[in-house]
Structure 1
Amino acid sequence: MTNNLTIGERVAWYRRRRGMSQEVLAGRVDRTVDWLSKVENNRIDLDRLSVIKSLADVLDVALADLVAEPSLMQWTSDSGMRTVPALRAALMDYRRVTPFGASGSGVEPPSIADLQHELSTLWEAYQAARFGYVTGRLPSLLAHAEAAVDVYTGSQLDAARRVLGLAYQLAAVQLTKIGEADLAWIAADRGLSAARAAGDIVVIGTLLRSVTHALQATGRYREAVQLTNDAANYLEPNMREATPEMLSVYGTLFLAGSIAAARANDAITTRSFLQAADEAATRLGQDANHLWTAFGPTNVAIHRVATAAELGDVQVAVDLGPRVDTAGLPMERRVRHALEVARAYSTWNRGDDALATLLDAEKMAPEQVRYHVMSRQLVLAWVRQNKSRPSSTLVDLARRLDVMD
């Protein structure tokens, strides 16, 4: 399987491998044979993850098998020549799950100040959508933070554990972003262990959000909704006199949950979670970036667009999406919203607007556009659906995204 198959073509490929007719598959997902035929022949776009997940369940394949994740990370001057495999090796270091600790690693722990600076540098790079840079340098940060936890005591140990928890959270969100859901789960679990050891309720809260994202990446949307409720109840006693950090963590938890609810086709819970996030944003008073959450009223607006698209309310996404001013947010948030707007335009048959939006997003953050399944599948569908020869602009974009030879 390669990157240059649409989701519909992958459905057809797995259906044939399972020896299943179109009639059987269509019936098991409560759709017509005509609908499935159009999906497999690229006459209908599969752009709602809830529908894709239902097909994956019947075909007994992982959600990632249909959405073509993960994608090969290119070597760049930012990433170097050791990317996801090096991060996988760091997460699967036997010393982390055996009694031998990091004493044999030979890594010297930096000072807490240097460790915090290293953490901030990588989080800022992530928010600037420099994914290769982050992936290539995360193994070093994790090794330094683990060594610090093994060596320091007292207040320095608590500080090191906080850094370690946030470093593993960064690993989780980065791995989720590039389609490595199983590794993201490991990272979130490790981060939660560090945060619990430090007794840091804020870091525990932000890592619970990462677990929610990891659940979504594997199509476990209802579990992600339940986790959102459980995590909110866990954090609730701290909300009466919440700090800006806590408000941001609490609000972004509900934003993550709103996406999960929308993908589970639960419009009532989606609205409830968005309302809770909006109330937290109102209390915060403005867009901010506490603990690299980019939380505030604008991020809530972005999620209103994304959830509308997931629920099939395309007109809402088309009307609201272009009006959201994301200029004050980190690049990763700005470009993620642009992808939603491009998807809405495409579904609304405004192909020129969709392509222009995607090209603008690519100029801002080429790595993010390249690695995101939404942009790759949009471009591939446009190429397949083009009855005449695709424009040179579209062909060039498809080649940059590695979905066309």
Structure 2
Amino acid sequence: MHSLDDNHTGARIKEQRRLARLTQRQLADLLPYSYSLLNQVECAARPATADFVAAVAQALNIDVTVLTGQPYVSELQRDRLAELVRPIREALDLYDLGSNPDLTVRPADELIAGAERMCADVRATHLRAAARKLPGLMAELTHAAWSSPSTELWQALASTYRTAHDISIKLGYYDLSSVALDRMDWAAERASDPCLAAVRQYMRALVYFREGEYRIGKRLVASGHGIVGQAEQTREALAVTGQLHLGASVLSARAADQAAVDLHIGEARRIAKRIGDASDVHWLSFGPANVALHKMSAAVEMRRYDDALKQARKIKLPAQLATSRRAHFLVDKARTEVETGHTDGALKSLVEARRLAPEQTRYHPAARETITGLVHLSRRTPDTLSHMAAWVGL
């Protein structure tokens, strides 16, 4: 059997359990999971799924990132990505200083177009390029919005804050992502844009989803519905409403509420049927394909892996689907393949996710945990798997 070091979530769970002076049996009694599963996760015989990690973090009263090990600083430093985070943090901190007379700023239309390109870069998983350009664009838009306030400039500034959130999440800096969402709300309020404000509530809900606080997440989704309900029923507002339903579907799945999952997927499907593909709206990827992907994700979250894999095999991803969403689907698919014994398929899915979105996949906790599980399951580790394990730092 291939041996692993302690650089995996199960080992960190074991360490934190011991610090809390709990036996495996005592911790298992606090979880909605079996003692056997906890035992297998701690020794890396089973992947530490996101829902399991969230439950352990709640039981131990610690942040999820303590268990996942995020951000993965050593890998980020080797990839020269860690050095790009501090300028983003500083740009977010200087939001309230007004105009900067020492700054040379491009015309407003160029800045607005730049904010759109930044969103496109993140969806294409060009994280390094986006992270490098983001602080300067934020500084220019901050100056422009304070100097010549307009709805369009405040919207563009809010968009850059949203990009800061996206990059922070993908690189594992959750503390920074929360700051970025606060700034997004601040700018959306000045833009008087209910759709942007509702998108921010959706993204906040996903933060609580990761932390296992599903009730809070559902409250935030409900708040988002209330905010977007203030807008006219345009295609934009409908797409945001649909995405809120999709967010609620996975929150409900984590809470094991099948009726709520069916309700929200049904509402999202109805909206998608009405407006078609709306992936251009706030870069949410909303449309019929994303509804199908969330239905499959809900099955994964409810641990109905056979059903999830059947759905995954039937899904045909449209050409216009964002690369980031496509890679996320492949990581989810790999998880279902491991859980159903299709280890060769899981490795192929992860290799394809790496090919499409190397930076995103390298820092995705679920990808890393799935690779950990595959290494443990392999009596003789294939060269491809060895390379993948070394690549994510195992």
TM beyond 0.5: yes
Which AA in structure 2 matches 1:13?
A: E
Would you say how many aligned residue pairs link Structure 1 and Structure 2? 389
Indicate the residue corresponding to 1:202 in structure 2: 195
CA distance in 1, matches of 2:104, 2:210: 35
Is the 8 Å Cα contact of residues 176 and 213 (structure 1) preserved in structure 2?
A: no
Instruction: Indicate which of 118, 136, 140 corresponds to 2:132.
Output: 136
Task: List aligned pairs for 1:5-154, cutoff 5 A.
Answer: 5-29=7-31, 31-47=33-49, 49-72=50-73, 74=76, 82-93=83-94, 96=95, 101-104=97-100, 106-153=102-149
Indicate the residue corresponding to 2:298 in structure 1: 307
Is the 8 Å Cα contact of residues 6 and 381 (structure 1) preserved in structure 2?
A: no
Structure 2's unaligned 5+ residue stretches are none
**Is the aligned partner of 1:384 residue 2:348?**
no
**Is the aligned partner of 1:352 residue 2:316?**
no
CA distance in 1, matches of 2:347, 2:37: 26
Is the 8 Å Cα contact of residues 181 and 217 (structure 1) preserved in structure 2?
A: no
List structure 1 runs of 4+ shifted beyond 6 angstroms: none
Stretch moving more, 160-169 or 322-331: 322-331
CA distance in 2, matches of 1:270, 1:342: 22
Task: List aligned pairs for 1:162-241, cutoff 5 A.
Answer: 162-238=155-231
User: Taking structure 1 as reference, are residues 31 and 276 closer, same or farther at Cα in structure 2, changes over 3 Å only?
Assistant: closer
Q: Percent identity?
A: 24
Indicate the residue corresponding to 1:363 in structure 2: 355
Stretch moving more, 290-299 or 264-273: 264-273
Shift of 1:145: 1.2
CA distance in 2, matches of 1:20, 1:76: 36
User: Taking structure 1 as reference, are residues 131 and 286 closer, same or farther at Cα in structure 2, changes over 3 Å only?
Assistant: same
CA distance in 2, matches of 1:65, 1:81: 18
**Is the aligned partner of 1:372 residue 2:376?**
no
Which AA in structure 1 matches 2:148?
A: Y
User: Taking structure 1 as reference, are residues 20 and 198 closer, same or farther at Cα in structure 2, changes over 3 Å only?
Assistant: same
Indicate the residue corresponding to 2:274 in structure 1: 283
Shift of 1:213: 2.2
Which AA in structure 2 matches 1:144?
A: E
Is the 8 Å Cα contact of residues 338 and 357 (structure 1) preserved in structure 2?
A: yes
Stretch moving more, 305-314 or 67-76: 67-76
Is the 8 Å Cα contact of residues 9 and 40 (structure 1) preserved in structure 2?
A: yes
SS of residue paired to 2:144: helix
**Is the aligned partner of 1:250 residue 2:241?**
yes
Is the 8 Å Cα contact of residues 162 and 195 (structure 1) preserved in structure 2?
A: yes
Is the 8 Å Cα contact of residues 5 and 380 (structure 1) preserved in structure 2?
A: no
CA distance in 1, matches of 2:208, 2:33: 26
SS of residue paired to 1:363: helix
CA distance in 2, matches of 1:13, 1:210: 31
Shift of 1:309: 0.2
Is the 8 Å Cα contact of residues 206 and 249 (structure 1) preserved in structure 2?
A: yes
Shift of 1:80: 7.1
Shift of 1:32: 4.6
**Is the aligned partner of 1:272 residue 2:263?**
yes
Is the 8 Å Cα contact of residues 361 and 369 (structure 1) preserved in structure 2?
A: yes
Stretch moving more, 27-36 or 209-218: 27-36
User: Taking structure 1 as reference, are residues 396 and 14 closer, same or farther at Cα in structure 2, changes over 3 Å only?
Assistant: same
**Is the aligned partner of 1:260 residue 2:251?**
yes
CA RMSD of aligned residues (A): 2.3
Is the 8 Å Cα contact of residues 168 and 188 (structure 1) preserved in structure 2?
A: yes
CA distance in 2, matches of 1:147, 1:76: 34
CA distance in 2, matches of 1:54, 1:172: 24
CA distance in 1, matches of 2:190, 2:151: 8
CA distance in 1, matches of 2:239, 2:101: 36
CA distance in 1, matches of 2:139, 2:71: 24
Q: How does the TM-score come out when normalised to structure 1?
A: 0.89
Higher relative contact order (CA 8 A, sep 6+): 2
Instruction: Provide, for residues 179-224 of structure 1, a one-character-per-residue CA deviation record: whole Å limited to 9, x for no partner.
Output: 2222111111111111111211222222222222233333322211
Structure 1's unaligned 5+ residue stretches are none
Shift of 1:244: 2.0
CA distance in 2, matches of 1:124, 1:173: 12
Is the 8 Å Cα contact of residues 306 and 317 (structure 1) preserved in structure 2?
A: yes
Instruction: Provide, for residues 230-276 of structure 1, a one-character-per-residue CA deviation record: whole Å limited to 9, x for no partner.
Output: 211332354xx622222222211222222222223333222222222
